């Protein structure tokens, strides 16, 4: 049985993630990161593009936080993004025809526009610190945190306003450790594809977007105990 089609609902925030096949390095040098950012800018000019709220590129994967617009279809948009990037990457490294660059279907997580959104953006922009790539998040050039303050004009212009106010001292907030419970919640949403938000919002969103299966416990259901005669 094929996977169910993903529903893109205008106005909803989504956390998108994909990584290289076998978790190999995708970005080996600065030019690789710059090339992906150019593909991302090209993708954001398409009529079906979402609004880009935050992002972070890591050596073997990337995170995008986007908000769907009226004409956005994330499946077709992400297909264009990853296929175009794959083609340019293979051409640059002279590996055309050597197989896929990405591990497969991208991950897509709807996110509630409240504190959960802020927790997610902190998680995304703090990735380089958790990975030990830089001591402070704002030092990682391939992230929306750096771009907002130091990036080229086209990338800064590509970052849309957030659906909630960015707290004062955001840079310091990103560099503080996310509490374990919040981080576990984000990781669970990524792994399962479960919407990220309050319990009531998750239930409503899962029903509306056809994501009820992401809420079910994994594994075989327990057998009911046999009744004694």
173-204 pLDDT tens trace: 999 977 788 889 999 999 999 999 999 999 99
Residues facing residue 65 across a β-bridge: 15, 54
Average pLDDT of the residues in 137-163? 97
What value does the mean pLDDT of the chain take? 91
Place of tokens 């769907």: 68
Res. 138: pLDDT tops 50: yes
pLDDT of residue 60: 97
Res. 32: pLDDT tops 70: yes
**What DSSP state is assigned to residue 20?**
B
> Which phi-psi region, left, alpha or beta, contains residue 109 (left: φ > 0; alpha: ψ -120 to 50)?
beta
Res. 55: pLDDT tops 50: yes
Average pLDDT of the residues in 1-22? 85
Domains and CATH numbers, the chain: 13-177 (3.30.70.1290)
* Other CB atoms within 10 A of residue 41 CB: 15
Place of tokens 């030092």: 139
Res. 93: pLDDT tops 60: yes
Res. 95: pLDDT tops 90: no
């Amino acid at each position: 049985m094929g996977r169910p089609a993903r529903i893109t609902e205008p106005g909803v925030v989504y956390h998108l993630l994909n990584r290289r096949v076998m978790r190999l390095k995708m970005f080996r040098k600065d030019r690789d990161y710059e090339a992906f950012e150019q593909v991302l800018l090209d993708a954001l000019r398409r009529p079906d593009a979402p609004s880009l709220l935050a992002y972070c590129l890591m050596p073997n994967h990337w995170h995008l936080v986007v908000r769907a617009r009226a004409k956005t279809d994330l499946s077709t948009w992400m297909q264009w993004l990853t296929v175009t990037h794959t083609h340019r990457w293979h051409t640059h490294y002279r590996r055309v025809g050597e197989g896929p660059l990405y591990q497969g279907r991208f991950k897509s997580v709807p996110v509630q526009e409240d504190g959960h959104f802020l927790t997610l953006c902190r998680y995304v922009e703090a990735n380089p610190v958790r990975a030990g790539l830089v001591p402070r998040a704002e030092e990682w050039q391939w992230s929306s945190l750096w771009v907002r303050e130091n990036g080229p004009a086209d990338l800064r212009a590509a970052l849309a306003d957030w659906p909630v106010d960015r707290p004062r001292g955001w840079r310091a907030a990103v560099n503080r450790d996310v509490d374990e419970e919040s981080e576990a919640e984000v990781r669970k949403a990524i792994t399962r594809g479960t919407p990220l938000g309050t319990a009531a919002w998750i239930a409503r969103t899962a029903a509306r977007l056809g994501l009820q299966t992401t809420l079910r416990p994994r594994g075989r259901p327990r057998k009911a105990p046999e009744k004694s005669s």
